[in-house]
Amino acid sequence: MNRLRRLRVNETMRQLVRETRVDRSDLVYPMFVTEGENVKNPIGAMPGICQYSVDRIHEEVERVVNAGISGVLLFGIPAHKDEAASEAYNDEGVTQRAIRRIKEQAPGLLVIADVCLCEYTSHGHCGVVCGGEILNDETLPLLAKMAVSMARAGADVVAPSDMMDGRVAAIREALDAEGFKNTMIMAYSAKFASGFYGPFREAAHSAPCFGDRKTYQMDPANRREAVRECLTDIEEGADVIMVKPALAYLDIVREVTDRTDYPVAAYNVSGEYAMVKAAAANGWIDERKVVMEILCGIRRAGAKIIITYHALDAAAWLGEEERGNGGV
Ligand code: PBG
């Protein structure tokens, strides 16, 4: 008789045949940095996640380094917002100062700078706005300037999340022209117009003040178009492609993994985190089991890199498993 249960008789056997593993080095932890002094501001819908001012960011960075996570993805919240998103490409802006501080403290930690205008514009859209329209080509030079400013501050990776057409090419060209040939581009290639970003917009103060993002972010219904977005970004010079959100889009993660030879990242976004935290706080699910199952599912779908607000907890649990106290 074919007995598949032979493969499951005990934990040693299960480990022997386990097909997918999550490693701490797969994880990237998003962080929010804000103006002001001595700020540590908890975000209501994201329990455990805070905004930090530059002078306190070292507290969280120390935890990240000790956890053995590969990198942080930085979002800046400037005090001043305007139509031209000036703070986005100000070398003395809050994000740029945070990058320099983190690089001094932890030179080996990968610093990934999100490149998008929405936290920096007065209207909260990801591009330049004129007459209620979000302009594509006029936005590209600003994104390119922002990416160069982040690279100059010390960012190892820039991650354009705006979904304008042609932005990867514009950013690559500007980085190369300024001598940042090794600054990597991790493109939010298949980024969907999603309800799962709700808590993030509170955390990053980036909700659009009119309309929505449906003219630039993707329609959740489209899988084939997601492949086109990824192939286009690769052609333009992306080093890593990303699918976002992760959980309702695991078929997209699998599809682009199969259709390209590039590393794929998946962003386990704020709303996905909030749902797990809320259910766990009510005692309705076992947080550790559910989080590890989610991360394993994202890896199994094909993503190598997982951007997740669970990164610190997950790294601690993975460390315990490595030492042999977990899982059985
Ligand atoms: C900026 C950006 C967003 C997220 C990452 N970069 C918000 C948005 O597009 O509205 C969402 C991240 C999350 O929900 O965790 N464009």
Ligand 1: residue of 206, 213, 218 to mutate (most ligand atoms within 8 A of CB) is 206
Q: Which fold has domain 20-322?
A: TIM Barrel (3.20.20)
Q: What percent of the chain lies above the pLDDT cut of 90? A: 93
* DSSP alpha helix (H) spans, the chain: 11-17, 57-67, 94-105, 140-153, 167-177, 198-204, 224-236, 250-259, 270-281, 287-300, 311-322
Lowest mean pLDDT among 76-85, 93-102, 138-147, 199-208: 199-208
Residue nearest to atom 8 of ligand 1 (CA): 197
Quote the tokens at residue 200. Answer: 């993030």
Indicate whether residue 270 lines ligand 1 (CB < 6 A).
Answer: yes
Distance (angstroms) between ligand 1 centre and the Cα of 321 equals 32
Closest CA to ligand 1's atom 6 = 161
Whether residue 118 has its Cβ less than 6 Å from ligand 1:
yes
pLDDT band at 325 (very low <50, low <70, confident <90, very high): low
Q: Is the CB of 116 under 6 A from ligand 1?
A: yes
pLDDT at 206 over 50: yes
- Is the distance from the beta carbon of residue 273 to the nearest atom of ligand 1 less than 6 Å? no
Q: What's the CA-to-centroid distance between 121 and ligand 1, angstroms?
A: 14
Give the C-alpha separation, 143 to 33, whole Å: 19
Token output for 181:
């040939």
Which residue minimizes the CA distance to atom 11 of ligand 1? Answer: 197
Work out whether strand 184-191 and strand 27-34 pair parallel, antiparallel, or are unpaired: unpaired
- The C-alpha atoms of residue 132 and residue 135 are separated, in whole angstroms, by 9
Distances (CA, A) of 166 to 1, 123, 321: 57, 22, 44
Q: What is residue 202's predicted lDDT score, i.e. its pLDDT?
A: 86
Any ligand 1 atom below 6 A from CB of 74: no
Count the Cβ atoms, other than its own, within 10 Å of residue 198: 14
Residue boundaries of the structural domains of the chain: 20-322
Q: Which residue has the higher pLDDT, 322 or 229?
A: 229
Cis peptide before 245 (omega within 30 of 0): yes
Strands 40-42, 50-53: pairing is: antiparallel
Ligand 1 centroid – CA 50 distance (Å): 16
- Distance from Cα 200 to the centre of ligand 1, integer Å: 6
Per the model's pLDDT, the better-predicted residue between 212 and 278 turns out to be 278
Q: What is the pLDDT of residues 215-258, one digit of tens each?
A: 999 999 999 999 999 999 999 999 999 999 999 999 999 999 99
269 lines ligand 1 (CB under 6 A): yes
**Is the pLDDT assigned to residue 149 strictly greater than 60?**
yes
Whole-angstrom Cα distance, residue 323 to residue 112?
Answer: 30
Q: Which of 114, 118, 200, 249 to mutate to test the pocket of ligand 1 (most atoms within 8 A of CB)?
A: 200
Positions annotated as catalytic residues are: 191, 244
Structure token pair of residue 165:
């057409």
Q: Give the helix ranges, DSSP H, for 54-106.
A: 57-67, 94-105
Tokens (6 digits) for 234: 């690769």
Give the residue, by CA position, lying nearest to ligand 1 atom 14: 197
Please enumerate in sequence order all residues whose Cβ is within 8 A of that of 203, keeping only pairs 6 or more positions apart, or say none.
32, 43, 46, 49, 51, 75, 270
pLDDT at 328 over 50: no
Pocket lining: 121 vs ligand 1, CB cutoff 6 Å: no
Pocket test for ligand 1, best of 116, 117, 186 (most atoms within 8 A of CB): 116
Distance CA(69)–CA(29), nearest Å, equals 8
Roughly what angle, to the nearest 10 degrees, separates helices 140-153 and 94-105? 30
Closest by CA position to 291, among listed 303, 275, 305, 302 = 275
Mean pLDDT of 256-261: 98
Mean predicted confidence (pLDDT) in 20-25: 97
Comparing C-alpha atoms, which of 43, 18, 187, 206 is closest to residue 127?
A: 206
Residue with tokens 């490595």: 322
Q: Average of pLDDT values for 143-172? A: 97
Contact 57, 33 (CB under 8 A): yes
Grade residue 275 by pLDDT with cuts at 50, 70 and 90: very high
Complete DSSP assignment for 142-159? HHHHHHHHHHHHT-SEEE
The size of the chain, in residues, is 328
Predicted local confidence at residue 1, as pLDDT: 96
Q: What local confidence, expressed as pLDDT, does residue 204 receive? A: 87
